[in-house]
Structure 1
């Protein structure tokens, strides 16, 4: 029985050929590929080209893989509560806000958490006996410190971010429930019982979006944050990969911004995946201006704006935008996964991306 002999392996990734001298990729003699310190930009199509002898015949086979880098969503807690107040005078509200913020920051200072997105709103309210009162609504978020830094975090506080966040919430909840009556601020503002509410919010790292597709391939990590595909980007810690705006494109996975089209060029619509989607606006403008002057009989020395207005024509760059706005937006539950021969996922990246 004949066997495969003298196999030779050639790997190609999203950025080109992979050689044994690479620091990121490890190639074994039997054709295995290992990726170290994987990043979101390493997502994409990988091809293994195998050349070998079979029955004394030289053959070549290509095996294709799709690699998607993902991580489990990080969490924050958004809280809100309501207080009754004697008035909405700014100095009194500011003083009480400062008191609350300093107290809560001291409660979570050793838990690697931060308080962000602090906001208050004071407005008039009427109670059951039609007495005019004032109500102060407080809103803020508790975030793990790891969400506010772009550096890789492998320290124990980062690894325990979920338990630290839970403890931070418990400390804040206990503070609101057991406020001391001897505080000078409590004489003017009173917490309304039962108004403290908390909601967990998912966050994906920049360059990632929430995996909302329900196809079978997603069963490995349902609801995970997956690298944004070409044509999309994510610059903040939210869960949506946004389409590249008109006039820009993105050819890579896991990007935090899109590349602008070259000068005098623009894409036909949102979500351009390659530079080839950028077209010359200047040539289109020259054609539009020539046709407009031909139809109106105006000489070339006349300014084009009044001519376009007479014809009720939009300048070409605004016409592109107008057409894009008329086009229905694709669903944000976009297809993240195609049909690769073998889908590969990273399985240890919850803190590395």
Structure 2
């Protein structure tokens, strides 16, 4: 238990966020500030970080500054404070959509926007036995990563208004079907319309498609770090890099790589 002579909400919120950054990935804990004659009681809760994956140049889903249990309760005088990866307040930033209910959407997501998005929810509660008013701070952390498409997505994305990944997959499937159809028709024509078969000709059932796994430079796959998106090309985290289209982010021994999506060490 800690007691302060004077507590200002903004200063406490700043302090709470610093503590939350140090306590990331920690199980829920609590710091309680008891109320005395001129003191206000504060409680700070930490939550485990949630990983979110966003396709490049699209908008993120709304990040909610409240867990499911809290959303089912009446929240008294709620206030929300969102802090981005650069540790700056996101309120008023042009690239975010921040609602009055504390929901955050990051628009036009790029590699450099990856990182920790932290929200601190402050609200009042009334103790039923003592009728004491207490302010509770709850910190929610979202690790947001950009997830691009395979090589060649840039050309496709400028031409289609809908999901680029779906468009790319549809075109690949269409190409596969057309190539297979061509060989089948050629085989039929050679058997029924020509008396002799050319020396070089298609052999039945020999056409197949092989999946080539690759990621853009600065991105890679990791089924341990990103279990919920193991097949996704996710932006390389600080301290790692990928210079080519391979699917692994390599570890950089130099301390210079401090950004997301590094392509060189």
Deviations 1:190-230 (A, max 9, x none): 445554332122343443322422x8x734x4523322221
Higher relative contact order (CA 8 A, sep 6+): 1
Structure 1: stretches of 5+ with no match in the other structure? 75-142, 260-353
Equivalent of 1:65, from 121, 141, 146? 141
Superposition pairs of residues 19-98 of structure 1, within 5 angstroms: 19-51=90-122, 55-56=132-133, 59=135, 61=137, 63-69=139-145, 71=147, 74=150
Aligned to 1:319: none
Greater share of residues in helix: 1
2:104, 2:163 → 1: CA distance? 33
Match of 2:207 in 1: 196
What secondary structure is seen at the aligned counterpart in 2 of 1:167? helix
Residue 162 (structure 1) aligned to one of 159, 169, 179: 169
What's the RMSD between the two structures over aligned residues?
4.1
**Does the 8 Å CA contact 1:73/1:202 hold for their aligned counterparts?**
no
| 2:22 aligned with 1:13 | no
Higher strand share: 1
Aligned-partner Cα distance in 1 for 2:156–2:264: 19
Classify 1:170/1:26 alpha carbon distance in 2 versus 1 (closer, same or farther; 3 Å).
Answer: closer
3-state SS of paired residue (2:116) = strand
Give the secondary-structure state (helix, strand or coil) at the position aligned to 2:182.
Answer: helix
Q: Partners in 1 of 2:95 and 2:109 — Cα distance?
A: 8
**How far apart, in 2, do the equivalents of 1:188 and 1:12 lie?**
69
- List runs of 5+ in structure 2 lacking aligned partners: 1-73, 126-131
Task: Give the 3 Å change call, closer, same or farther, for CA 199–25 of structure 1 in structure 2.
Answer: same
Output the TM-score relative to the length of structure 1.
0.40
- Report whether the alignment pairs 1:227 with 2:232: no
Deviations 1:100-139 (A, max 9, x none): xxxxxxxxxxxxxxxxxxxxxxxxxxxxxxxxxxxxxxxx
Residue in 1 that maps onto 2:182 = 175
Contact in 1 for aligned 2:114/2:146 (Cα 8 Å): no
